[in-house]
Structure formats: structure tokens, C-alpha cells
Amino acid sequence: MYSTVPPNGLVIYCGTIVTEEGKEKKVNIDFEPFKPINTSLYLCDNKFHTEALTALLADDNKFGFIVMDGNGALFGTLQGNTRERLQAKIIKLVDVSYGGENGFNQAIELAAESLQNWLANNYKSFGATLEIITDKSQEGSQFVRGFGGIG
């Protein structure tokens, strides 16, 4: 019936049920959930387990985040247990031989300025507010680990 898994995943319930008349009936129910399901479960049991589907209904808030380090930036969203990597940008390394007035410090400021301007001008297009979280905070380190770093 399915040659590929649908974009939101596939839910299959199959087994033998007892009807209201007390007769056994074999059933096979399959459908694509209304939003992505990131749970894989196979159980041979006396009931159909719907916990993963219930979890899809629980949290509908979508969070956007930006993770930055010295090499680049990662833009992503998190909704329930669904993570989406929107964009990753690699930033070219600062030339430490820059011969400006303040040398190395000025080179860092000039390199960071373009990314700061881009963030200030574009974060609203994601429909979000800007909150700074570093890799030193619990939230920041969880995102860095969960997305495998930047790039």
C-alpha cells in the first residue's frame, strides 16, 4: 500500500479485536499523522498504544533559536520533539594580520559586524523575538549537542 514513508511518518495499528457482539475481527488501521511523528514503536500487546499520537497534541508551541560560535551560526526551530535545521552559515575566519588601528581587536569587530547586522535585520522574518543564549547555558549546550554542532 505504501511504497515510501509519508513526510509526517506512518502510524499502523493491526491486530484482532473483539466486537460489541463478542466476535473476533481482524483490523488494520494506517494513516499519516497531521504533523511529524518522531517515535518508532513496535509492540505486540493487548491494546493499541496511542501515547505518541497524544504527545503530538500536547505541545504546539514552536521555538526558534540561533546557535553561534567562532566558526558560524545555526538557525533552527523546535516544536514538540521535532527539530528543524533551517540554515547554517559558516563564517570565514578573521585575518589576524589585519593592520588596522587596533590590530587584532579591530579585525574581530569588523568580522562580527556583518553577522550582527544580518541578525538585527533578519531575525523578525522568522516570526520570533531575539534571545541570546550561549554554549555556557543549559539551553545552549543542549541545542549544540542535539544538532551536532554548527556546519
Segment 67-78, tens digit of pLDDT: 777 677 788 888
pTM, full prediction = 0.44
pLDDT for the residue numbered 151: 44
Backbone φ and ψ for 81, nearest 5 degrees, come out as: -105, 20
Task: Evaluate whether 37 touches 49 at the Cβ level (below 8 Å).
Answer: no
Backbone φ and ψ for 37, nearest 5 degrees, come out as: -115, 125
Sequence-distant (6+) residues with CB within 8 A of 120 are: none
The pLDDT mean for the chain works out to 75
CA separation for the pair 103, 90 (Å, rounded): 23
pLDDT for the residue numbered 116: 63
pLDDT for the residue numbered 78: 80
pLDDT for the residue numbered 79: 76
pLDDT for the residue numbered 25: 93
pLDDT for the residue numbered 115: 64
Three-state secondary structure string covering the chain: CCCCCCCCCCEEEEEEEECCCCCEEEEEEEECCCCCCCCCCCCCCCCCCCHHHHHHHHCCCEEEEEEEECCEEEEEEEECCEEEEEEEEECCCCCCCCCCCCCHHHHHHHHHHHHHHHHHHHHHHHCCCCCCCCCCCHHHHHHHHHCCCCC
pLDDT for the residue numbered 23: 94
What residues does 26 pair with on adjacent strands?
16
All residue ranges of the chain with pLDDT < 70 are 59, 70, 91-116, 118, 126, 128, 131-135, 138-151
